[in-house]
Amino acid sequence: MQISRQVIVKEAWDWIKTIIIYVGIALFIRFFIFNLSIVPTGSMIPTIQIKDKIIILKFSYWFQPVKRGDIVVFRSPNEKNVQLVKRVVGMGGETILIKDGKLYINGKLYMEPYVYEKMKEDFGPYTVPQDGYFVMGDNRNHSYDCRKWEKKYITRDMIIGKAVYKFGALK
């Protein structure tokens, strides 16, 4: 029994179409739905450990606003092609003050049970621009965040997505 050239070409084309569809779906998911990232630093300890893998939900803020306490992944304002992971602490229009290791938002003490250790440096007061968010790592004494940047806030267009789940690093 001999298979015709036409049958082989049709079968090959069916395989190519299937592969193209699967690659297209994978790329759509990767660029618009979620992404997996490995956290390289300890700036979010104890919430996220070094080398933990996090799932970033990219469409999260299409349907809801960014909220205080959210852990966001965003493009660094100072380094090209670098993504950072930090917690949203201040919202547009709010005044941030760190005094004696405590965070004050609009003059009121804000309790943060997730912070690794008492902050050593004072900061502010600083009023976040209306279109901005003030972000800091949970490991405040070892975090490169808004307090240290020239432009001391991020904007919504810099945010890639919300960190929604983490997997611990293999030991």
Active-site amino acid positions: 43, 86
One-letter identity of residue 76? S
Where b means 16+ CB within 10 Å and e means fewer, 144-169 reads bbbbeeeebbbeeebbbbbbeebeee
Closest by CA to 95, choosing from 118, 125, 68, is: 125
Q: Token pair of 123, please?
A: 């900061």
Measured in Å, how far apart are the chain's first and last C-alpha atoms? 57
d(CA 67, CA 78): 23
Answer for the pair 75, 166: CB distance below 8 angstroms, yes or no: no
Closest by CA to 127, choosing from 98, 100, 90, is: 90
